[in-house]
Amino acid sequence: MDHPESQYLNLIKDVLENGSTETGRNGITKSIFGYSMRFSLKNGCVPLLTTKRVAWKTCFNELIWFINGCTNNQKLIDKNVHIWDANSTREFLDSRGLQNNEINDLGPVYGHQWRYFNAEYENCHTDYTGKGIDQLQNIINSLKDPEQRTSRRLVLSAWNPCQISEMALPPCHVLMQFYVKENKYLSCSLYQRSGDIGLGVPFNIASYSFLTHIIANHCGLIADEFVHFIGNAHIYEDHFDSLKIQIEREPLEFPSMKIINTHNNINDYSIDDIQWTKKYVHHEPIKMNLSA
């Protein structure tokens, strides 16, 4: 049976061999439209890609930033996370028409939509408590209720057309849905409109798998599966050579983890709540540049 990481490696091969060459907003890509992958989360498994090193701490800290509804890049910088830096400069914000945003104020991006959907945005320092719709807490409330956890409406959207123009970057991973079977096993699916296969997709797989483990633990459930749907799956031209190296590598066994604490408030989880039960073993890092 193929290693589950082969789904990702096959995506790379498919795009390199059969992708359409397109010139987009930030460079030349090869792309296909429509791809899906499934990853087991059973027994604490985390599908961190092993054919290169994935910066899982950076990924996890960004996820906690989303969960907390934060839109201030400085909070990430304070954690030594720099994946949003290029999108929070004065030059980039001005290019989006966000001259009134201070540097590092990303506008109503993911966290704002997860926790305060459509609340009128002022700035990244504003307390939005009680404003907008707390989509994440609503899902948690339903998952904790045996009468509601089998609902087909456990959907969270980061795509808000009313506020796209206020965001430094429109969301790429736009829609998640949760599913409970046998009253105890939790799965999550993600629809991603745009997937940067070289850099973004490995983070997205890890991030939403971490999220599923956290939500399962928080709601007294067991993480089961992460299902990933990608619309525009693309590889940037300057990533071609790096990914050709990666697809020649043999995948290794995925790591496993457990969450050692259960907090009353979803905002209170941190990287200190993670304990690895099977070490993350991986091939050498592969350097690729981020396209803002």
Active site residues: 172
User: Nearest Cα to 201, choosing from 229, 225, 164, 176?
Assistant: 229
Q: Rounded to an integer, what distance in angstroms lies between the CA atom of residue 197 and that of residue 125? A: 33
Strands 222-236 and 185-196 turn out to be parallel
Q: What angle do CA 93, 235, 171 make, to 5 degrees?
A: 40
Interatomic CA distance for residues 143 and 176, integer angstroms: 14
Across the strands, what pairs with 161?
Answer: none
Judge whether 27 and 291 are in contact, CB under 8 Å.
Answer: yes
Interacting residues of 170 by C-beta distance below 8 A, sequence separation 6+? 159, 164
Helix, strand, coil % over all residues of the chain, rounded to 5: 35, 25, 40
Please give the span between the terminal C-alpha atoms of the chain, in angstroms, as a whole number: 37
